[in-house]
Amino acid sequence: MKLTKEQVLNDIALLPSGYKTADIDRLINKYVKNKTDSSALRPYVLEFQQLHRIYYFVALKQMKTAEERMEFIHNNLLFSDWWHTDQLIGFVSDIDFDVALNYSKAYILSDDAFIRRWGYVLFISKLCTEQSERIFPLLKNDEHYYVQMAQAWLIAELAVTEPDKVFGYLEGCSLKYNITGKAIQKICDSFRISKEWKEKFKLLRTALKKL
């Protein structure tokens, strides 16, 4: 059974006033249980924001492998004005790192800031564990706020398991302070990084701000 734009918008209209993401997810789970095909929604996902999550999740939840899900996302980079690409992370966290790296190298060169953002956030899971030295070369100065936030988030995630390498990288990298400063703030906000390391990063942030 193929979902149509009209059917989904009608189903959404039946949701409680002021519906939440959980209400949409229950709708998604119903579609998945019925093995519905969301492909007919594709032309409308940027026109009707309500369809975006449904289009992706109904398809992705029915795929068996991370590689299949990654290929689907790659063929549907409909991210413009939709910064919640982090919601897709869990669908690809089991993919081979080298495969993810090849995708990322292309994404971070995109003219679309939200695709560039995806090139970084796709690593924010167990996928980036002990991979800092291979990820550092992907990081480059970017003027778009949401890309900067993705880079900062990724750097903070790397610091969870490799704080020493992240510290050394931030000491000598060419990234602007509006990225490194955000990264250190996220490191300091993390519950998974020790107080000792947080103090070291705070001192580094002070030094970087003066440059």
Residue 114 shares a structural domain with residue 162? yes
Residue 90 shares a structural domain with residue 194? yes
- Assess whether pLDDT exceeds 90 at residue 50: no
Residue 88 shares a structural domain with residue 11? no
Q: Which of 62, 96, 113 is the last residue of a domain?
A: 62
- Assess whether pLDDT exceeds 80 at residue 82: no
- Assess whether pLDDT exceeds 90 at residue 106: yes
Residue 17 shares a structural domain with residue 96? no
- Number of domain units in the chain: 2
State the residue range of the domain holding 139.
66-210
* Range from 81-90, 147-156, 186-195 carrying the lowest mean pLDDT: 81-90
Residue 58 shares a structural domain with residue 134? no
The CATH number of whichever domain residue 202 belongs to comes to: 1.25.10.90
C-beta separation of 95 from 70 below 8 A: yes
